[in-house]
Amino acid sequence: MLLVVGEHALGGLSPECAQMATGFAGGVGDTQQEMCGALSGGVLVIGGALGRTVLSASDWPALDLATRYRQRFLAEFGETQCARLRETVVYAPGGPGSCAALVERAAAILLDLLAKGQQ
């Protein structure tokens, strides 16, 4: 998510940004026990686009968009935890068998929210 949408939405990323996000994949360290990596990666992109750079700045724009992203993600997939998503969406009967389709749908949600936020 960060590498694809982040490159598009932020106009490039430093290698360190991608490195720092690597551990979020697979529900944190591929444990599948925490938040889906597509969701956490999207929140990182939102922070990169709207996050504050000094403590005295407002963090509300990023928090508001992150909240809306999580709400849309939850409405679309019914879960935010990696393991549950893998059971109900990814490997469910008739499911794609890969997180790629989920990530693609989550990226579309994020891009839509980012576009609406810039209007």
Q: Work out how many domains the chain is built from and give that number.
A: 1
Note the pTM of the prediction, 2 decimals: 0.89
Ordered per-residue pLDDT tens for the chain, 119 residues: 888 888 888 888 888 888 888 888 888 888 888 999 999 999 999 999 999 989 999 999 999 999 999 999 999 999 999 999 998 888 877 767 788 889 999 999 999 999 987 55
Structural domain range at position 19:
2-117
Structure tokens at 96: 């794609």
